[in-house]
Structure 1
Amino acid sequence: MAGQQDSGQDRTEDASPKRLADARKKGDVPRSKELNTVLMLLASLIGFAILGSNGVNAYKEMASNQWKIDRERLFSDQVILNGLHTPFVEALWISGPFLVLMFLAVFIGPLCMGGWVFAASSLKVDPSKMNPLTGLKRMVGIQGLAELLKALLKVILLGGISVLLFRANVDDFLSLGRLPLEQAINKCFGIIFSIILILVLSLSLVALIDVPYQKWQHAKKLRMTMQEVRDESKEQSGNPEVKAKVRQMQYAMANKSMLADVPDADVIIVNPTHFSIALKYSEDSVAPVVVAKGVDHMALKIREIGKEANVSIFSAPPLARALYRNSEVGETIPSELYLAVAQVLAYVLQVKQMSFPEQRRLVPPTDLPVPESMQDKKR
Structure 2
Amino acid sequence: MPEESGQEKTEDATPKKRQKSREEGQVGKSVEVPSVVVLLAGVATLYAMAGFFYKRMADVMRSSFSFTSIPEVHMEQALFWMQTYGMQAFWVMAPLLLVVFLAAFFANAFQVGFVLAWKAIEPKPSKLDPIKGLGRIFSKKSLMELLKSILKITIIFYVSWRAVKGEMPHMMRLYDHNVATILLFMVKISFKIFLWVLLAMVFVALMDLIFQRWNFDQQIKMTKQEVKDEGKQTEGDPQIKSRIRQLQFEASKKRMMQDVPKADVVVTNPTHLAVAIQYNPLAMQAPQVLAKGAGSIADKIRSIAKEAGVPIVENKPLARNLFQWVDVGQSIPADLYQAVAEVLAYVYRLKGKGRG
**Both structures adopt the same fold (TM-score exceeding 0.5):** yes
Question: What residue number does 1:193 align with?
Answer: 191
Question: What residue number does 1:290 align with?
Answer: 289
Question: What residue number does 1:261 align with?
Answer: 259
The aligned amino acid for 2:315 is P
Question: What residue number does 1:312 align with?
Answer: 309
Instruction: Deviation per CA, 1:131-179: give whole Å up to 9, x if none.
Output: 3322221111111122123233434544676688789798899999833
Q: Aligned equivalents of 1:281 and 1:98: distance in 2?
A: 83
Inter-CA distance 18–177: structure 2 relative to 1 (3 Å threshold): farther
- In structure 2, stretches of 5+ residues that fail to align are none
Q: Aligned equivalents of 2:65 and 2:325: distance in 1?
A: 101
Question: What residue number does 2:298 align with?
Answer: 299
TM-score by length of 1: 0.72
- In structure 1, stretches of 5+ residues that fail to align are 354-379
Question: What residue number does 1:178 align with?
Answer: 179
Q: Aligned equivalents of 2:92 and 2:108: distance in 1?
A: 28
3-state DSSP of counterpart to 1:316: strand
Q: Aligned equivalents of 1:272 and 1:216: distance in 2?
A: 63
Report the CA distance between 1:332 and its aligned residue.
Answer: 1.9
Question: What residue number does 1:341 align with?
Answer: 343
Report the CA distance between 1:56 and its aligned residue.
Answer: 1.8
The aligned amino acid for 1:316 is V
Larger Rg: 1
What is the 5 A alignment of 1:16-95? 19-70=17-68, 74=72, 82-95=80-93
Q: Is the 8 A contact 2:164 2:189 kept in 1?
A: no
Question: What residue number does 2:99 align with?
Answer: 101
Q: Is the 8 A contact 1:287 1:338 kept in 2?
A: no
Question: What residue number does 2:143 align with?
Answer: 145
Inter-CA distance 272–214: structure 2 relative to 1 (3 Å threshold): closer
Q: Is the 8 A contact 1:270 1:313 kept in 2?
A: no
3-state DSSP of counterpart to 1:261: helix
Superposed CA RMSD in Å reads: 4.1
Q: Is the 8 A contact 2:174 2:182 kept in 1?
A: no
What is the 5 A alignment of 1:153-232? 153-158=151-156, 178-179=179-180, 190-225=188-223, 228=226
Inter-CA distance 108–255: structure 2 relative to 1 (3 Å threshold): same
Q: Is the 8 A contact 1:48 1:193 kept in 2?
A: no
The answer to which structure, 1 or 2, has the higher relative contact order (CA under 8 A, 6+ apart) is 2
Q: Aligned equivalents of 1:172 and 1:307: distance in 2?
A: 119
Question: What residue number does 2:330 align with?
Answer: 331
Q: Is the 8 A contact 1:6 1:225 kept in 2?
A: no
Report the CA distance between 1:274 and its aligned residue.
Answer: 5.0
Question: What residue number does 1:356 align with?
Answer: none
* Most deviating of 162-171 and 335-344: 162-171
Report the CA distance between 1:72 and its aligned residue.
Answer: 10
3-state DSSP of counterpart to 2:311: strand
Instruction: Deviation per CA, 1:255-309: give whole Å up to 9, x if none.
Output: 122223334334445566654433222212122211112334323433555566x
